[in-house]
């Protein structure tokens, strides 16, 4: 009974009294599970295959059991088409018990990494090499914001704050780094995110504490990666741009899936309470929303099922879980696992409520 009351208070306070009217009609253990599932869903970002979102995803959104949706190139045939999809998802969200905006996001960094046609044309590397990098970063951020806002999206998983180490390394080969100088990355990242957020599109800076030292083959999307970077270098170089971004008001931070031996040699950063709680929140003072990188990443191959990964990520301090395998079932598995872990006490209800409060504050700040 005590846990049911905790879950009811947790969900009712964060989302609003209207939410309680749905699940509260149930009783017993079903009541706990109903509250837990709705709370869990509000921490998961879903994805789907192809051009048309399946009815199962629409149903999750309508029930208030999804925090948002991430879009990839395969979901987009034109700006007109994706604008229609976004309108459909927004209409479903308007019927949900959560009054806050659905998080509608994509990767629109610029250059090679763009899911929508159009701005920003320049890659981060192009911006850094331009005649006036500050102006180019501002233009790129504004272009990304205008483009996403124009189709109804409200979160961009950009800019990248990784400080590349050597020509041809992972971030440099895909032109995703502004510079090999931390202060330049910090200045340009802040200019980009400020211009983007002025258009009503929240910025996500990534990949904390930094993938700049990753070699060309060290891609966490495909395999486990360990970076043995000295702590002084990690803090003075790789993490340094985050101070500028946090001061500029970045709304989200995405965690890296690499292992950083100087911080936590036993876990990827995104599964480490030390990296998230101590390094990002306490030392760097980040108050906003934390989000995982792709839950299906090869870097997590040793961490079991989708559900197990989701619970570990939430317990480490991630507010949002990115289920980006283009499969609604993946999101459902994450929600089910989070709900079960919340209901049985594996996940602390107080910490869960704080995460929900941050997520819903972000959603309330966006259109």
Alpha helix segments (H runs only) across the chain: 2-15, 17-20, 28-41, 55-62, 79-94, 124-129, 133-151, 170-173, 182-197, 231-233, 240-247, 273, 306-316, 328-343, 349-365
Task: Please give the Cα distance from 367 to 86 (Å, whole number).
Answer: 12
CB 119 within 8 A of CB 69: no
pLDDT at 32: 72
pLDDT value, residue 7: 52
Report residue 336 as tokens: 């089910």
Q: What angle do CA 134, 140, 145 make, to 5 degrees?
A: 130
Please give the pLDDT value at position 33.
75
Instruction: Report pLDDT for 1.
Output: 46
Answering whether pTM is above 0.85, one says yes
User: What is the pLDDT at residue 11?
Assistant: 54
**243 with 234: CB under 8 angstroms?**
no
Radius of gyration of the chain (CA): 20
pLDDT computed for residue 31 by the predictor:
46
pLDDT value at residue 56 = 98
- Give pLDDT, residue 20: 30
For 132, other C-beta atoms within 10 Å of its C-beta total: 10
Residue 232, C-beta contacts closer than 8 angstroms, at least 6 positions apart: none
Residue written as token pair 């971004």: 245
Q: Give domain limits for the chain.
A: 39-365
Q: Tens place of pLDDT for every residue, the chain, 367 residues?
A: 445 555 554 555 344 433 333 333 334 455 477 789 999 999 999 999 999 999 999 999 999 999 999 999 999 999 999 999 999 999 999 999 999 999 999 999 999 999 999 999 999 999 999 999 999 999 999 999 999 999 999 999 999 999 999 999 999 999 999 999 999 999 999 999 999 999 999 999 999 999 999 999 999 999 999 999 999 999 999 999 999 999 999 999 999 999 999 999 999 999 999 999 999 999 999 999 999 999 999 999 999 999 999 999 999 999 999 999 999 999 999 999 999 999 999 999 999 999 999 999 999 999 9
Q: 39-365 has which CATH code? A: 3.20.20.300
């Amino acid at each position: 009974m005590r846990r049911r009351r905790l879950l009811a208070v947790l969900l009712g306070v964060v989302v609003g009294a209207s939410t309680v009217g749905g699940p509260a009609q149930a009783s017993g253990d079903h009541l706990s599970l109903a509250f837990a599932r709705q709370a869990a869903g509000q921490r998961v970002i879903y994805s789907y295959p192809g051009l048309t979102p399946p009815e199962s995803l629409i149903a999750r959104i309508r029930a208030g059991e999804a925090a948002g949706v991430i879009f990839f190139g395969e979901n987009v045939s034109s700006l007109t088409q994706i604008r229609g999809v976004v309108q459909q998802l927004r209409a479903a969200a308007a019927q949900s018990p959560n009054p806050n905006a659905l998080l509608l996001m994509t990767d629109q960094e610029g250059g090679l990494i763009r899911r929508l046609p159009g701005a920003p044309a320049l890659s981060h590397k192009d911006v850094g090499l331009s005649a006036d990098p500050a102006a180019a970063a501002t233009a790129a951020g504004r272009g990304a914001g205008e483009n996403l806002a124009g189709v109804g999206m409200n979160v961009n998983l950009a800019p990248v704050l990784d400080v590349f180490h050597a020509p041809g390394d992972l971030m440099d080969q895909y032109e995703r780094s502004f510079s090999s100088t931390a202060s330049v990355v910090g200045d340009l990242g802040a200019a980009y995110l400020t211009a983007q957020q002025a258009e009503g599109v929240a910025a996500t800076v990534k990949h904390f504490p930094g993938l700049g030292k990753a070699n060309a083959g060290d891609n966490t999307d495909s395999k486990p990666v360990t970076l043995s970077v000295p702590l002084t270098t990690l803090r003075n170089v790789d993490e340094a741009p985050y101070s500028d971004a946090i001061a500029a008001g970045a709304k989200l931070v995405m965690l890296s899936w690499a292992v950083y031996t100087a911080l936590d040699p036993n876990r990827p950063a995104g599964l480490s309470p030390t990296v998230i709680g101590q390094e990002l929140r306490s030392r760097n003072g980040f108050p906003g929303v934390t989000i995982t990188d792709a839950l299906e990443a090869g870097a997590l191959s040793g961490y079991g099922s989708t559900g197990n990964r989701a619970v570990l990520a939430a317990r480490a301090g991630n507010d949002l879980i990115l289920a980006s395998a283009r499969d609604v079932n993946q999101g459902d598995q994450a929600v089910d696992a989070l709900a079960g872990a919340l209901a049985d006490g594996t996940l602390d209800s107080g910490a869960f409520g704080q995460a929900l409060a941050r997520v819903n504050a972000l959603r309330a700040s966006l259109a």
